[in-house]
Structure 1
Amino acid sequence: MRTLDSARATCEHYHPGLGKALEEIEFEEREYPGSPVIALFREHDGVGLLVPEAFGGKGADPVDAVRVMRAVGSYSPSLAAAATMHHFTAATLYSLTGRDDGLTAAQRALLRGVVPSRKLMASGWAEGRTRQNVLTPSVAARPVAGGYLLSGAKKPCSLSRSMDLLTASVSVPDARGRPEPALALIAGDAPGITVHPFWGNGALAAAESDEVRLADVFVPEELVLRTGSDDPERLSRMQSAGFIWFELLISAGYAGAAAALVRRVLEHERGSVTDRAALAVRAESAHLLLEGTARAVRDGDLDGEAAVASVLIARYAAQEALSGAADLALELLGGMDFIRSREGSLLASAVRPLAFHPPSRTSTAEPLVAYLAGAPLALS
């Protein structure tokens, strides 16, 4: 498939050798719990894709990022899901840098160390949501001398067993005692952090999406990154950016899983040529829609509410097309392929979870309809 080959070439550009290293492992082994795919991602400089160049990263734009994630999803849907959480965290976190933003020396040192130390960041946020929900506190923060004690849980939390840093949304008092949203930067091995089994499905089983619990985990004041309650526009911009990145990247990963499934059908010439063409159109239309939306975001054609709404529409349309493509591909591969190999069924089942990522189509139906009719976009 031409577009998948192009995506894999882009992945090779940013992460030399990653695709080859993944392909050297049997597909089923890539997707099992304990798989080495996350370790390979770390070894091949996966962490720096969306980290700005000023902080040692690659600073990839949305189009290249979508292509890379599609390629990663075609090699390992589990890795694409896990990597999305790291990239989404990086994109949102580093959006607070780049100007006189009041970051502490400790915060800057930590952010500068992510790429050279190949640190993986797990998200303890309500990922993929916009407006106030991205930073709705997921854990409780209790002020103590020199910092805060954090308690709570995140489940599922991808990268739970490989994370070097856990970022958690918290609420802390500002200078006037009012609650202010903030991000706590927590060492993955900090005392009080424990990981517990949670993910019970065979699909995406290598993403390490288990439960992370925090019990009085101490975080020093200098590692709590305040988002600025006095500047709601800045907070809104950051939340919108994080939302847009999440929806594009997670959708692209699932598009990659579907593309790998379609590729099997085309290579084995299963079904009639009309069936194969119809299958390719479904999968390619989803990819082209996501990439086109990413290009519009990159080029500034979409901004603010328009960008959020467009990304949502692209995600839901891709979700429907990819689901249909997975069903048809599995049917065309046939019963003997289903019986003799788990690859097809694993890929097909790995496409489905896109529907479960927030926000659901049901929850956004009314706000989207109202927005399309001229009202502000008010997602909750």
Structure 2
Amino acid sequence: MRFLERERATLEKLLPGLDESLREIPLMQLENPKDTYSIRTSHQKDGPILLVPKAQEGIGATAVDALRVQRALGSRSPSLAVATTTHHFSIGTLIGLIPPDDTGDGFASGVLGGAGYEGWLVASSFAEERLDAGILSSSMTATEGYDGVRISGVTRPYGLAWVMDMLIADVMVSRMDGQGEERALVLVDAQSEGVSGTSASGEAQNGQVTFDNVLVDNLTWASDFDKPVDVLLTRASPGSSC
């Protein structure tokens, strides 16, 4: 068996035509930090729905097959493999929030359904660029009000800053039972009012996304209070484009 033969076969089986499309483009063009060609090509070949369950209109790849796909992509475009790994981890987080007795109409299932049907690219913001912070250390601040939660902060979703459709962030909010605070996950529409993007030296892959008092409403509990970490999922109200 040739080097990466199994990985390329898996890539072709799950995302037909993507490997060929990437192979036709010179490596330096694929890795051009001012271009998003590789991400856009992956999107066109259904790359974002690789891990989305079949029940939510996705491909439903196994973890092993997804790893093989990422290895194959990395051999063609390292930056694409890194950027899409960020997306896949975000999708995996949502999959982990689906309860065993889910009927398909819960919030996490609904978001995954949107990701599957629309092909959303989902970024995440967890403990970025802070060596002394754990993965669950919040990088966003949240202010609670009568109309929901407003979040502020900065994130650098490598390779997804200019192409992401949604972003998952963790914040600390007051418990509904009034007993202190707890961690919550918020899902923010990239087109929400208050979301803006800037780039480092004009490089698309080094984009920075700023959230300025972004309103997140429609709060939905996704777990019980007696679990180790309670998770709150929210959906941002659509607003003006960033």
State whether TM-score is above 0.5.
yes
Q: Contact 1:107 / 1:225 at 8 angstroms: preserved in 2?
A: no
d(CA) in 2 for partners of 1:196, 1:116: 29
d(CA) in 2 for partners of 1:118, 1:158: 16
Match of 1:56 in 2: 57
Indicate which of 218, 223, 226 corresponds to 1:221: 218
Corresponding residue SS for 1:161? coil
Percent identity of equivalent pairs: 37
Q: Contact 1:141 / 1:170 at 8 angstroms: preserved in 2?
A: yes
Corresponding residue SS for 1:140? strand
Per-residue deviation, 1:116: 1.3
Relative contact order: is structure 1 or structure 2 higher (C-alpha 8 Å, sep ≥ 6)?
Answer: 1
Confirm or deny that 1:20 pairs with 2:16: no
Corresponding residue SS for 2:13? helix
Confirm or deny that 1:190 pairs with 2:192: yes
User: Aligned letter for 2:143?
Assistant: R
d(CA) in 2 for partners of 1:233, 1:121: 22
- How far does the alpha carbon of each residue in 1:128-152 deviate from its partner, in whole angstroms, 9 at most, with x for none? xxxx933322201111223111101
Corresponding residue SS for 2:149? strand
Q: Contact 2:123 / 2:157 at 8 angstroms: preserved in 1?
A: no
Question: Mean Cα displacement is larger for which, 112-121 or 147-156?
Answer: 147-156
Match of 2:152 in 1: 151
Match of 2:87 in 1: 86
TM-score (norm 2): 0.83
d(CA) in 1 for partners of 2:106, 2:134: 28
Match of 1:243 in 2: none
Q: Contact 1:123 / 1:167 at 8 angstroms: preserved in 2?
A: yes
Per-residue deviation, 1:101: 6.5
Distance 1:71-1:233 versus aligned 2 partners, 3 A rule: same
Per-residue deviation, 1:233: 7.2
Distance 1:51-1:67 versus aligned 2 partners, 3 A rule: same
d(CA) in 2 for partners of 1:138, 1:19: 35
Per-residue deviation, 1:9: 0.9
Match of 1:274 in 2: none
d(CA) in 1 for partners of 2:10, 2:93: 23
Match of 1:275 in 2: none
- How far does the alpha carbon of each residue in 1:69-124 deviate from its partner, in whole angstroms, 9 at most, with x for none? 00000110010010000001111121101424799855543321111101000111
Written as runs of structure 1 = structure 2, the 5 A alignment for 1:297-376 is: none
Q: Contact 1:138 / 1:153 at 8 angstroms: preserved in 2?
A: yes
Distance 1:196-1:228 versus aligned 2 partners, 3 A rule: farther
Written as runs of structure 1 = structure 2, the 5 A alignment for 1:186-335 is: 186-198=188-200, 208-222=205-219, 226=222, 228-232=224-228
- How far does the alpha carbon of each residue in 1:130-183 deviate from its partner, in whole angstroms, 9 at most, with x for none? xx9333222011112231111011135430100000111111122222212111
d(CA) in 1 for partners of 2:151, 2:229: 27
Match of 2:234 in 1: none
Written as runs of structure 1 = structure 2, the 5 A alignment for 1:8-157 is: 8-32=8-32, 33-100=34-101, 107-126=108-127, 133-155=134-156, 157=158
Question: Mean Cα displacement is larger for which, 150-159 or 103-112?
Answer: 103-112
d(CA) in 1 for partners of 2:105, 2:138: 22
Distance 1:63-1:107 versus aligned 2 partners, 3 A rule: closer
- How far does the alpha carbon of each residue in 1:287-310 deviate from its partner, in whole angstroms, 9 at most, with x for none? xxxxxxxxxxxxxxxxxxxxxxxx
Corresponding residue SS for 1:115? helix
User: Any stretches of 5+ residues in structure 2 without a counterpart?
Assistant: 232-242
d(CA) in 2 for partners of 1:199, 1:100: 48
d(CA) in 2 for partners of 1:102, 1:135: 28
Q: Contact 2:183 / 2:229 at 8 angstroms: preserved in 1?
A: no
d(CA) in 1 for partners of 2:105, 2:140: 22
d(CA) in 2 for partners of 1:26, 1:196: 27
Match of 1:180 in 2: 182
Equivalent residues, number: 226
d(CA) in 1 for partners of 2:102, 2:139: 24
Structure whose alpha-carbon radius of gyration is higher: 1
Q: Contact 1:180 / 1:229 at 8 angstroms: preserved in 2?
A: no
TM-score (norm 1): 0.54
Q: Contact 1:181 / 1:227 at 8 angstroms: preserved in 2?
A: no
Distance 1:233-1:172 versus aligned 2 partners, 3 A rule: closer
